[in-house]
Structure 1
Amino acid sequence: MRTIVVDGTALTCAQVARAAREEVPVAVSPEGVARARAAWRTAREVAAEQPVYGRTTGVGANREVGVEWEDADAHGLRLLRSHAAGAGPLVAPEIVRAMLVVRLNQLAAGGSGVDPGVLAVLADVLNLGLLPPVPVYGAIGTGDLTALASTALCLLGERHWLPAPDGAPHRGPGFRLRSADALAFISSNAATLGESALAVTDLRTLLSASTVVAALSLHAVRGSEEPYAPAVHEACPHPGQQEVATAMRTLLAFEKPAPMRIQDPYGYRAFPQVHGPALEAGGYAADVVGREINAAAENPLVDVAGRAVWHNGNFHTAYAGLALDAARAALFQTMALSAARLGTLSEPSFTGLYPFQGATEASSGIMILEYVAHSALADVRRLATPAALGSAVLSRGVEEHAGFSTQSARATTEALGAYRIALGCELVAAVRALRTQGRPPAGGPLRSAYGVAAEALDPRVDDRPLDTDIAVAADLLPTLARLLP
C-alpha cells in the first residue's frame, strides 16, 4: 500500500481520511524534519533572550507569570497533567488517527519549536495502530488542549495507549518531551481539523452520490430533462448549479425521455439550484480545511527566517467552523429535496405502480422509508444550527471569544451519518421502482449505477423488513459517487 509522506505543506483531506481509516503507512519527509529542527533551535535561542509564552511563562491568565529557573523542568509536565482533563465518551478511533496525522503534518511545517524527534515517534504510533484516549468534551475551537495533552502523557509513558490490536494496553514508543516544548506540542486544533478533514471528504462523496441517486429517481418517475438544459443554467450561471446540471445531462444522455408532466416537483425541477450551493459550500469547506492542516498555525509562532517568536491568534479556527456551519445548512436544503423525491416514488401517479410500490394495492411496500428519511432529516435540521452563534469568556477574561469549530466539526460528522441514511432510502425506492417497471437505464454511468445497486439490493416486493435494504444502499453510496462523470 502506498505510503503517505507527510511534509508539512501538501497533506490533503483525502490523505487524512486514508491514513485514519486504512492500514496505510505514514512517513515524514526529511524536509519536514529539517523545518522542525530549525524551528526548535530558533525557539530555544529566542527563549533564552526574552519571554516566550508557555516556554518561560505560564499560560492563559498566567501569561504574565514567569517560570522560575529551578522550576523549568517541572512546569511543562504540570501543564500536561493539568490539561489532560477531557470528559465524556471517547471519540471514534478514526478521528484520533486523523488528529495524529494532522498534528504530525503541522509539526513538519516548522512553526512550533517542538523537538523534531517527536515526529518519527508520532509516525511510529500511527504505523503501530496505537491511540491516545481522547474524550469528546474539552475543546471549543481555540485549541484541542485536552486531546493533545493526553497524547503527550502517552508519549511520556504516564498513560497507556489504548488497546492495541491484540487487546492489551500498550505503552508504545516513548519520548522525553522537554518541559519547554509542552505547550508548543498541545497548542493546536489538530483533533478538530482531523475530524473536519474526514467530514469534508465524506461530504463531497455523498454529494456526488446524491446526484446519481437523483438521476435514478428522475428516470423512475419519467421526469423531464428540461430543468437541466444548458440555456437554463447559462441564464443563471452559478458554478455549482451548472456543475449539477451538466452531471445530470451526462447521466441521462442515453435515455429517451417521454416526460409525463409539463413541469415536475421541486425535487427534480430545482435540484441544480439547491444541490449546487451544497457542492460549492462543500468545496469551500474542503479548501479551508486543506489550508488549515498545512498551516503552521502555532501560538507562539517560531519564525526561523526572522529569528523571532510571534504571539498571535492563528490558533483560532473561525474559518473552519464557519465553513462547516454553512455546509450543514446547504446539506439540509438538498437533503430535504431527497426526502421530497422519495415521496414521489411512493405515488402511483409518478411511478405507475401500486401505492408505496407495494405488491398489492393494500400493501405497505416502502411506506416506512419516508418516516426513516424524515427522521434523519429532522436530525440534520437540528444539527444545522450554526455552532458559531455561541461564544465563551474563559481564563479570567483574557480569552474572551470562541468559535466552537470543534462542535461544528462534530455536528457535521453526525449530520453526514443522517444524510447517508436518507440517501439510502431514496436509492432503495428508485431502484425498486425501476426494477418493478422493467425500465433499467439504457446505458452509460446511470446504467452502471443501477446495475451495482440492483445486484446488491433485495428484489422482493412483498411486505418485509427494509432495515437491511437501507443499510446496504447507504454502503453503496461511495461506489455510486465514483461513477459520477
Structure 2
Amino acid sequence: MKLDGAGLTCAQVHEVAYGKARVTIASLDRARAAWRAARELTGPVYGQSTGVGANKDVSVSDGGFGLLRSHAGGAGDLVEPFRARGMLVVRLNQLLVGGSGVSPGVLPALESAINNGFTPPIRTYGAIGTGDLTALATTALCLLGEVSWRGPSGDPPRYALDSRDALPFMSSGALTLSDAALACHRIRRLLTAAVDVAAQSFAAVDASAEPVAAAVQEARPHPGQALVAARLRELLNGEPAARVQDPYGYRAFAQVHGAALDVLERAERSVEIDMNGALENPLIAENLAWHNGNFHGAPVALALDALRAAVAHAAQLSTARLATLMDPHITGQLPFLAAHPGESGAMILEYVAQDALAELRHLATPVTTGTAVISRGTEDHASFATQAARYCLRALEPLEIVLACERVAATRALSRAPDPDHPLDEALDQARRTLAETK
C-alpha cells in the first residue's frame, strides 16, 4: 500500500493495523520541502524557539528532547498493538503531506516500524482531543532509543531526531484518528450485515415489504434509506403482507438504519480529511510558520458523537424486532420460539440483547458537551475527540451482540418453515461471516 499523504482511507488503516498489508512511501518531496523551509525560519517559532502551552512566550534553546521526555507521561493500560500500528500509519501519512518541518529521515523509520511489527508502548490516558502528545512523545523516544519498542526480537527502528523535531513530530491526533478509522470501518461492516439480518426477521414474521417499495423511497430520497430499502427489496420475495402495518422495527427500518449509514458516511469523511491533512501547529507553508488550530479535533468529535447515537438507534430497532420474534401473535409459533409449550425457548436472547443495548445507550452520551481549561488558561477548550473515538471502539462488541441475538432468533423462527430457494440464504451466510469476523 503506497502512502502519499492524500488517499488514506479508514479501510486501509484497518488493513495495515491488523497486519494484512504493508506500506511504502510514495515520495518524500513535500516533507523535504517543509523541512528545508523550517530550517531557514527566523523569529520565534512555537515549540522550537519557545516553550509550549503557557510557556509560549518563554524563549528556549535546544529544549526539544526535554519536551519529549516531559510529555511521554500517559497512564492506564497499554494500547493494543493494532491501535498503535494504526497510529503510526496515520502519522506517517500526515507527515508525507508536508507542513510539519520534521526531518524527512524519520519517515522511513516509521515505515520500517509498521512493516516489521514494532509498536510504541503507549498508554490509554493522556489526550483530550487537541493532540495525542503522550503517545507521539513516547514514539519519538522509541526512535531515539530511550524507550523500548514492543515487537519482535531483532533490530528495532532508530532515528536520531533533531531537538527541533520534537514538537513537529508530536503535533497530531494520530492515535485518535486511527481509533476513529478502525471503528468506522468495523461499524460499516456491522451495519451492512444488519440489513441482511433484518431481512431474515422480515421473512420470519411475514413482515410487509411495502415500506421499502421504490415509490415510497422516491418520496423521501435520503441516500442511506434508499440503499437499505434497495437491499431489502433484493432479499424479500414481496409476498402479500400478513398485517396492514407492522411495528416500527420493520416499517421504519430503512429510515432509521439508513440514517445511521448517512451519519457513518459523514464520520468517515471527517476522519479521512484529517488523516490526509496537515494538522500541524505551527504549519510550515509558503516558507513561513503559521501558528494555528488545525490540531483541534472538533469536526471528528462531533461526527463520532452522532455516529454512536446512530448506532444506538439502529440497535434499538434490532431489539424491537427481536421482541416480535418472541411474540406468538406475530410469528404464529409458540412463545419465545420454544419447541414445546411452557419452555423458555429463546427468551434469554432478549436479556442479552437488552444488556448490550444498555451499554450502547451509555456510550452514546455525547463527549462534546464538555470541555477543559488547562495550561494556566492558555488552552481553554477541548473537543474530547479522543474519548469519542475510544467509545466508538467500545461500541463494536455490544452492537455485534445485539445483531447476533436477532440473527439467532430469526434463524430459529425460519427453521420451522425452511425455503431452500429463498434469496436470503446466501445473504445470511454472508451476514454470519461478517458477524464472526468483524476484526
TM-score (norm 2): 0.97
CA positional deviation for 1:477: 6.6
- Name 1:14's counterpart in structure 2: 11
* Cα pair 1:157 1:171 within 8 Å, conserved: no
2:368 is paired with a residue whose SS is: helix
- From 205, 218, 224, the counterpart of 2:189: 205
C-alpha separation in 2, matches of 1:241 and 1:34: 44
Q: Amino acid of the residue matched to residue 418 of structure 1?
A: P
In structure 2, C-alpha distance between the alignment counterparts of 1:86 and 1:124, rounded to whole Å: 24
Secondary structure of the 2:242 match is coil
Q: How big is the shift at 1:438?
A: 2.1
Q: Does 1:258 align with 2:240?
A: yes
Structure 1 unaligned residues grouped into runs of 5+ = 457-471, 479-485
Q: CA deviation at 1:65?
A: 0.7
For residue 349 of structure 2, what is the amino acid of its counterpart?
L
Aligned to 1:229: 213
Matched, 1:219 2:212: no
CA offsets, 1:156-209, max 9 Å, x none?
Answer: 111111142xxx6x6611110110110110110000001111111112111111
- In structure 2, the residue matched to 1:172 is 156
Residues 276-295 of structure 1: CA deviation (Å, up to 9, x unaligned): 11011000000111111000
Distance (whole Å) between structure 2 residues aligned to residue 477 and residue 174 of structure 1? 34
Query: Could you say if the C-alpha distance between residues 477 and 14 of structure 1 is closer, same or farther in structure 2, counting changes exceeding 3 Å?
Result: closer
User: In structure 2, how many angstroms separate the alpha carbons of the residues matched to 1:236 and 1:256?
Assistant: 21
1:448 aligns with 2:436: no
**1:249 shift after superposition:** 1.0
- Pairing partner for 1:281 from 253, 263, 268: 263
Q: 2:39 aligns with which of 41, 44, 48?
A: 44
Q: Distance in 1 between matches of 2:321 and 2:327?
A: 10
Q: Which residue of 2 aligns with 1:466?
A: none
- For 1:356, the aligned partner's letter is F
Please tell me whether residue 293 in structure 1 is matched to residue 275 in structure 2: yes
Percentage identity across aligned positions? 53
- Higher mean C-alpha deviation, range 431-440 or range 20-29: 431-440
- Give the aligned CA root-mean-square deviation in angstroms: 1.6
Instruction: Tell me which moved more, 125-134 or 238-247.
Output: 238-247
Alignment partners' CA distance in 1, 2:290 and 2:32? 18
CA distance in 1, matches of 2:75, 2:404: 34
Task: Name the aligned partner's letter for residue 29 of structure 1.
Answer: A
Structure 1 residue ranges (4+ consecutive) displaced by more than 3 angstroms after TM superposition: 450-453
Aligned to 1:393: 373
Contact kept in structure 2, 1:427 and 1:473, CA below 8 Å: no
Indicate whether 1:196 and 2:186 are aligned. Answer: no
Unaligned stretches of 5+ residues in structure 2: none
Question: 2:302, 2:420 → 1: CA distance?
Answer: 42
| 1:209 alignment partner AA | A
Distance in 2 of aligned mates of 1:110 and 1:451: 45
Distance 1:144 1:452 in 2: 37
Alpha-carbon offset, residue 437 of structure 1: 2.2
Q: How does 1:111-190 map to 2 (within 5 A)?
A: 111-164=99-152, 172-190=156-174
Question: Does 1:414 pair with 2:403?
Answer: no
For residues 151 and 114 of structure 2, the distance between their equivalents in structure 1, rounded to whole angstroms, comes to: 13
**1:475 paired residue among 422, 436, 439:** 436
Using the size of structure 1 for normalisation, the TM-score is 0.88
- AA aligned opposite 2:15: R
Distance of 2:438 and 2:325 partners within structure 1: 19
* Deviation for aligned residue 1:237: 2.5
Q: Which of 30, 53, 72 in structure 2 is aligned with 1:60? A: 53
Which residue number in structure 1 is paired with residue 249 of structure 2? 267
Matches within 5 A, 1:366-405: 366-405=346-385
CA distance in 2, matches of 1:409, 1:89: 17
Shift of 1:256: 4.9
What is the SS of the residue equivalent to 1:113? coil
**2:415 aligned residue (417, 429, 435):** 435
Q: For this pair of structures, how many residues does the alignment match?
A: 439
